[in-house]
């Protein structure tokens, strides 16, 4: 351990925007890019506020219980890594005495932290709003709120639970996504809004990481959101609405079929389009699941190997690829790697919007789920506009369309690849 850092007070090393704000606020909303130091800020604030003796019932809410424990409590920037916690650990080792530091114990099996001054923190899941019923808090820390399955439902429960003490407060640390509830909270009178970017914390991050992020995402929508922490609201004329992208895990053994949709790029230069590669499956409950997004800029032999490997790994029963540009070369490329690959050609006759609309309807009807967040795919989906031409070809969306269409084609459901 670095003794200098242990003794150093958080206020000596924190940036101005990481310190607990003055004034009368009910919600401290920290909308910032990845690597800004959001988690460390939230953890230090909670420890400081509990150590003051004013806050005794605390809620620690992560997307899941596991994420809350792994990131908010035990993580490199979590509660156990704060300057106060480190001093407590030294106090336990009798290396020095500090009467101003309140000792605590972490009971992972109970998902609780208990302080000697009577304060108690409960570690909870943001993906299960109903579990918040019955709790009452004077301090809440919510991390990565924008990732939750139903942010509106969890916020409703949060307002019911934050009801004791003289000055109940909520701290929310999150990378933004275009959610109406986030926009509403950011504009509320009793919200103290802190904004920040990844690059504000560049001194504490890998310089290779900083360079890579600038090179890949500068001046892109993903970069503005994930790095600069901008709250970019959705356009009104998009084919997909983000609220219709719902996350649900699935056991692959419970899927009746798995297919791979491919939209191959015809070139592989620096300014070339991506090759879209989407793995999707349909369950016995007739629900469909997007399982993986393997898209990227590849040379033909590279994407062919990726597709064949995914076919083996996921036991896919069909690979569906658009052959408008590559023609027979697409099939031949795959066959050179895996001769007996279950391959099906498809040709795009209708435009991208006409092909995508029936698929977006399935999302709206809650018939398609994502097993996790696929940032680039979802950005393409929610940026596909009826009135504006996309900056780049939505290859991931095209691959999604081919995969979903193949899954539903045999049942004559809503879509068919035949007349696309």
Entry pTM:
0.61
Whether CATH 3.30.930.10 fits 242-409: no
Which of 298, 287, 308, 295 minimizes the C-alpha distance to 377?
295
For the segment 166-173, the average pLDDT, to the nearest whole number, is 95
The pLDDT assigned to 88 comes to: 82
Superfamily of domain 3-226: P-loop containing nucleotide triphosphate hydrolases (3.40.50.300)
* One fold for 3-226 and 242-409: no
The mean pLDDT of the chain is 86
Beta carbons of 19 and 196 less than 8 angstroms apart = no
Q: Is 403 exposed, middle or buried (0-12, 13-18, 19+ CB in 10 A)?
A: buried
In 284-359, DSSP assigns E strands to: 288-293, 318-322, 343-346
pLDDT at 25 > cutoff 60: yes
The pLDDT assigned to 117 comes to: 92
DSSP string, 40-92: HHHHHHHHHHHHTTS--EEEEEESSHHHIIIIIISSTTSGGGSHHHHHHHHHH
pLDDT at 100 > cutoff 80: no
pLDDT in tens, 245-290: 999 999 999 999 999 999 988 666 666 788 999 999 999 989 999 9
The structural domains of the chain, with segments of one domain joined by +, span 3-226, 242-409
pLDDT at 300 > cutoff 80: yes
């Amino acid at each position: 351990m670095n003794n200098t850092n242990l003794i150093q007070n958080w206020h000596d090393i924190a940036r101005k925007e990481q310190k607990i704000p003055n004034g009368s606020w009910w919600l401290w909303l920290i909308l910032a890019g990845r690597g800004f130091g959001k988690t460390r800020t939230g953890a230090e604030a909670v420890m400081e506020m509990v150590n003051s003796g004013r806050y005794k019932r605390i809620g620690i809410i992560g997307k899941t219980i596991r994420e809350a424990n792994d990131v908010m409590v035990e993580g490199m920037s979590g509660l156990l890594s704060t300057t106060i916690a480190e001093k407590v650990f030294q106090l336990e080792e009798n290396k020095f005495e500090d009467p101003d530091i309140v000792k605590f114990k972490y009971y992972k099996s109970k998902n609780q932290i208990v302080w000697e001054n009577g304060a108690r923190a409960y570690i909870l899941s943001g993906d299960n709003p109903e579990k918040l019923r019955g709790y009452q808090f004077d301090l809440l820390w919510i991390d990565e709120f924008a990732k939750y399955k139903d942010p509106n439902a969890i916020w409703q429960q949060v307002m019911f639970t934050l009801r004791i003490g003289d000055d109940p407060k909520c701290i929310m640390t999150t990378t933004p996504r275009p959610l109406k509830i986030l926009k509403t909270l950011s504009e509320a009178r009793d919200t103290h809004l802190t904004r920040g970017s990844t690059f504000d914390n560049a001194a504490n991050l890998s310089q290779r990481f900083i360079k890579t992020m600038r090179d890949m995402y500068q001046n892109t929508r993903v970069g503005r959101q994930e790095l600069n922490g901008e709250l970019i609201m959705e356009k009104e004329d998009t084919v997909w609405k983000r609220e219709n992208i719902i996350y649900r895990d699935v056991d692959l053994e419970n899927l009746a079929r798995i297919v791979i949709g491919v939209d191959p790029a015809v070139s592989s230069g620096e300014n070339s389009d991506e090759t879209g590669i989407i793995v999707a499956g349909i369950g016995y409950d007739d629900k469909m699941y997007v399982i993986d997004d393997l898209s990227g800029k590849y040379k033909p032999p590279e994407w062919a190997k990726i597709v064949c490997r995914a076919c083996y790994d996921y036991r896919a029963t069909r690979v569906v690829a658009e052959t408008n540009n590559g023609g027979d070369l697409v099939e031949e490329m795959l066959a050179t790697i895996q001769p007996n690959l279950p391959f099906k050609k498809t040709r795009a006759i209708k435009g991208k919007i006409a092909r995508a609309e029936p698929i977006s309807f399935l999302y709206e009807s809650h018939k398609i789920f994502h097993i996790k967040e696929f940032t680039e795919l979802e950005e393409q989906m929610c940026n596909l506009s009826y009135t504006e031409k996309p900056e780049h070809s939505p290859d991931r969306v095209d691959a999604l369309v081919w995969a979903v269409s193949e899954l539903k084609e045999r049942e004559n459901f809503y879509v068919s690849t035949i007349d696309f």
